């Protein structure tokens, strides 16, 4: 079986592909792949590995040898799944590989905000401590997480991993029920109550028609003025302009985004170009610890092996 990896550059250079290579006859890797390059590169491939390269109906119909698509991620929205099914092309993904990485990233951001670590390091680097009349130089306020309320929207593997860490910090954890539902499941809190009462809200839900732009003006107006928003899920969950207005007007105190609605974003993206001090943006890297990347490669290799066994 000949396999083609269309966007290996979405992984670090030191990530081993040996586990995949052991399951296929040949593996051809490309750093990135543009839409007009897909057919030429995949015409003889029986297996395509793709992280974010989009495979449309028109493309899939031109790949007669293709038997398996391995998505190097959890989300499957870059594949035309109905067409793949019609063409008898199996599509697999990998879930659960990034729970620890994402949860750690969420708390790295929470701790940076509540402890103001970079600020205090800079104070020392700029000489303020050496000029202090007392044994310390206090600078920005430091706040404890114990007793703070963390609201989690989306309670799959990622949300559960975040909750586990929050409990270790003695935070109060609220798991949001789905929006617009009257039935509240055990150990859940109504969606509106979570948004209204949480000191920190972290998003871990998938992008669906129901969740797109869920963080809109109404959502942000419900949040407390001192609260913090974190999105490591999907950029389309957030209404960019509503978030900008909320941050500018101090309707919420701080936001951290690891994802945007366009990736990579253009230089004039409204959130990138805003330069707001209470908005921090990272480049979709919450998932990407070395260990998580290697677990993802292992998951892909297992999917290939299972496909071989069943065929």
Catalytic residue positions? 234, 263, 284
Calculate Rg over the CA atoms of the chain: 22
Count the helices and strands in the chain (H runs, E runs): 11, 11
How many other CB atoms sit within 10 Å of the CB of residue 67?
16
Question: Which residues in 127-162 are b (16+ Cβ under 10 Å) and which e?
Answer: eeeeeeeeeeeeeeeeeebeebbbbbbbbebbbebb
Structure tokens at 112: 């940076």
What's the rounded Cα separation, in Å, for the pair 132 and 139? 11
What's the rounded Cα separation, in Å, for the pair 277 and 268? 17
Structure tokens at 123: 């104070």
Beta strands in the chain (DSSP E): 2-5, 26-29, 47-50, 68-71, 90-92, 149-153, 172-175, 200-203, 228-231, 254-257, 279-281
Q: CB of 219 within 8 A of CB of 251?
A: no
């Amino acid at each position: 079986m000949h396999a083609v990896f269309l966007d290996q550059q979405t992984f670090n250079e030191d990530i081993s592909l040996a586990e995949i290579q052991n399951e296929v006859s040949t593996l051809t890797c490309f750093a990135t792949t543009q839409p007009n390059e897909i057919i030429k590169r995949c015409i003889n491939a029986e297996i395509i590995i793709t992280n974010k390269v989009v495979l449309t109906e028109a493309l899939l119909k031109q790949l007669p040898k293709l038997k398996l698509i391995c998505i190097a991620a959890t989300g499957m929205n870059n594949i035309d799944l109905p067409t793949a099914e019609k063409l008898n092309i199996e599509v697999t993904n990998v879930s659960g590989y990034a729970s620890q990485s994402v949860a750690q990233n969420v708390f790295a951001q929470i701790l940076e905000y509540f402890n103001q670590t970079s600020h205090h390091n800079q104070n020392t680097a700029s000489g303020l401590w050496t000029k202090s009349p007392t044994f310390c130089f206090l600078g920005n306020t430091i706040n404890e997480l114990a007793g703070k309320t963390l609201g989690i929207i989306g309670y799959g593997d990622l949300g559960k991993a975040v909750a586990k860490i929050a409990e270790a910090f003695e935070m109060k954890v609220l798991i949001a029920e789905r929006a617009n539902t009257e039935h509240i499941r055990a150990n859940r809190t109504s969606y509106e109550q979570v948004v209204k009462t949480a000191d920190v809200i972290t998003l871990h839900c998938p992008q669906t028609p129901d969740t797109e732009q869920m963080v809109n003006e109404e959502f942000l107006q419900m949040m407390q003025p001192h609260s913090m928003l974190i999105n490591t899920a999907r950029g389309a969950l957030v209404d960019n302009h509503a978030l900008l207005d909320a941050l500018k007007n101090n309707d919420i105190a701080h936001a951290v985004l690891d994802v945007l609605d366009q990736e990579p974003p253009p230089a004039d993206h409204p959130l990138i170009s805003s330069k707001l001090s209470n908005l921090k943006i990272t480049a979709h890297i919450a998932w990407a610890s070395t260990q998580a990347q290697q677990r993802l490669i292992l998951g892909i290799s297992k999917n290939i092996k299972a496909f071989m066994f069943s065929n």
